[in-house]
Amino acid sequence: MEVIIERILTHPLLSFALALLCILLLFAVLKGLIKLIILVLIFGALYFSYVSFLQDDFPLPEIDEGLTEQWNEWIEPYRSLDLNVSFSDFNQTLKGMTNSPEKD
């Protein structure tokens, strides 16, 4: 491996080609990220323009408060259960345990 790295570093044309390849790869990754960021910004702008300009003509559906209260009443018995489950730590030393397989 050291021979390959030494050969690459001694040939300036090969070093230049690898540097150019790295720059092109970095450019391609940044181009993809910029496209993704622009797409997210466009969708965000469309959503906020819908909320601000078209909310009166085409309102978002209202949440039925009775339905949420009914769900809360149905879930309430399960909410009071203690789901904090603790698992024993298997990374503890065996010293002091009664059934420890210690070898003397």
pLDDT in tens, 47-81: 888 888 877 777 777 778 888 888 888 888 777 66
Tens-place pLDDT, residues 3-20: 888 888 888 888 888 899
- Asked whether residue 10 is assigned to any structural domain, the reply reads yes
CA-closest candidate to residue 19, choices 27, 34, 2, 33: 27
- Asked whether residue 71 is assigned to any structural domain, the reply reads yes
Contact 31, 24 (CB under 8 A): no
- Asked whether residue 96 is assigned to any structural domain, the reply reads no
For tokens 């003397």, what's the residue? 104
| Domains: count for the chain | 1
pLDDT in the model for residue 104: 47
Greater model confidence, 104 or 35:
35
- Asked whether residue 99 is assigned to any structural domain, the reply reads no
- Asked whether residue 104 is assigned to any structural domain, the reply reads no
**Domain of 41, in residue numbers:** 2-79
- Asked whether residue 102 is assigned to any structural domain, the reply reads no
- Asked whether residue 49 is assigned to any structural domain, the reply reads yes
- Asked whether residue 20 is assigned to any structural domain, the reply reads yes
pLDDT in the model for residue 63: 78
pLDDT in the model for residue 49: 87
CA-closest candidate to residue 8, choices 17, 20, 24: 17
Q: Which of 22-26, 44-48, 90-94, 97-101 shows the lowest mean pLDDT across its residues?
A: 97-101
